[in-house]
Amino acid sequence: MPWSDPDKGNEPNPWGRRTPPKPSTDLNALLEKLRRQISGLFGKRGGGGGGGEGPRLSSGLPYLGGILVVLWLASGIYVVGPDEQGVVLRFGAHVATEPPGLHYHFPYPIEEVYTPKVTEVRRIEIGYRSMGQTRRKMPTEGLMLTQDENIVDISFAVQYRISDPAQYLFNARNPESVVRQVAESSIREVVGRSKIDDVLTEGRAVIEQRVQALMQRILDQYKLGLMVDAVRLQEVHPPEPVLPAFLDVVSAREDLERARNEAEAYANDVIPRARGQAARLVEEAEGYRQRTIDQALGDASRFKQILSEYRQAPGVTRERLYLESMEEILRNANKVIVDSKRGNNVFYLPLDKLSREQERATAGQKAEPAPRSESAPQGTSANRALNSIEGQGAASGAGGQTPAFGAARQGER
């Protein structure tokens, strides 16, 4: 084999000189060369042949140490995501909380970083478990006792998120379990102070708000670094064994409520109308009272005026009263008077048309009576005034006027 064979490596030839290695394109040869160079850095013996050099410390060891130190320091670079916060620990103690972005910390074991997701909305379920599109009931979690000693089955969900990542990481070993226990305790306390009607019907929103406030207060006392976003009641109903009976009770209550509403609607319709009618009757009575008083005062005033005029001119006054009385009496009389002594002409009188017009006028007056006024009943007032004047004349002994007036009155009658 020639001394220049590549398999001999760098072994010296018989003349005391080393043969330079030829470049090789073989991958195995390249790997072997790299292995030998790395072994030389740590002082291993050279390969082969007769008597090599003794162990020596390679001059590349400091460079390797520097590279390792640089890599170790570079491991302190970290990135905090947009939905995270970085919690930095130095020898196990919390020293800083970093916002999202690129940051640096001293490499492990000096410092280490935790990056919990602080914007993620977490959810726990009480009384049921979601199994894809279905739900599995958890009876032991949902049965609760109300204030009026009734049992209800409640399923609800709690949504929460991290508000303080340091407290969330180090103040509780299992924060989710703590939140579940706090939720069960809070809902049982609130339901225990409420009646079953409020829990099943209109009081659900109030219960959700109270449970959320109570949970937040307890979590703040525990310093868990959590914030309760919402409490949502999913299902609220009586236990399965008594559900049919409870539905019958609810139906009866609905019937009672419907009947009560109908009665209130009827009362709201009848009572205002009755009050309106009563007020109308009172107003009519007041109007009649005032009208009667005014008519009486008018009659009295008219009587005084007629008496004064009668004392001044008895004949004229008596004639005027007579004419007014006849006008009042004959106003509605259906009579036609024809004076046939003045000529032999034949008069055409439409008696049937006049009769119909008179009947229509009479019917209209009956259907819509004219309002009474002080001057309407002239004949009646005139007769009463005439009778009163006669009585006063007889009582006062006015001489020859009263007998003459009485005789004239009798002749007219």
pLDDT tens digits, one per residue of 219-232: 999 998 999 999 99
Q: What is the pLDDT of residue 373?
A: 41
* pLDDT score of 42 more than 80: no
Number of other CB atoms surrounding residue 50 within 10 Å: 6
The first and second tokens of residue 133, run together, are: 């599109």
Predicted pLDDT of residue 274:
92
Q: How many CB atoms lie within 10 A of CB 23?
A: 8
As given in the structure block, the two tokens for residue 78 are 């970290």
Q: What is the pLDDT of residue 240?
A: 79
Residue 179 is predicted with a pLDDT of 92
pLDDT for 144-193, tens place per residue? 888 888 888 888 999 999 988 888 888 888 889 999 999 999 999 999 89
More confident residue, 101 or 348: 101
| pLDDT for residue 311 is more than 90 | no
Name the average pLDDT for the chain.
75
State how far the Cα of 169 lies from the Cα of 148, in Å rounded to an integer.
42
Report whether 62 contacts 68 (CB < 8 A): no
* CA quadruple 252, 254, 258, 263: dihedral, nearest 10: 60
Of 53, 48, 44, residue with least CA distance to 3: 48
Q: What mean pLDDT comes out for the span 356-360?
A: 73
Summarize the confidence of residues 276-284 as an average pLDDT: 93
For residues 334 and 355, is the Cβ–Cβ distance under 8 A? yes
Residue with tokens 């009486």: 296
Integer CA distances (angstroms), 413 to 136, 351, 391, 405, 408, in order = 112, 30, 17, 12, 9
Choose from 19-23, 111-115, 190-194, 392-396 the range with maximum mean pLDDT: 190-194
pLDDT score for 283:
93
Residue 74, token pair as written in the block: 């570079």
Q: 0.75 cut: is pTM over it?
A: no
Determine the average pLDDT of the residues in 298-307. 87
What is residue 390's predicted lDDT score, i.e. its pLDDT?
A: 52
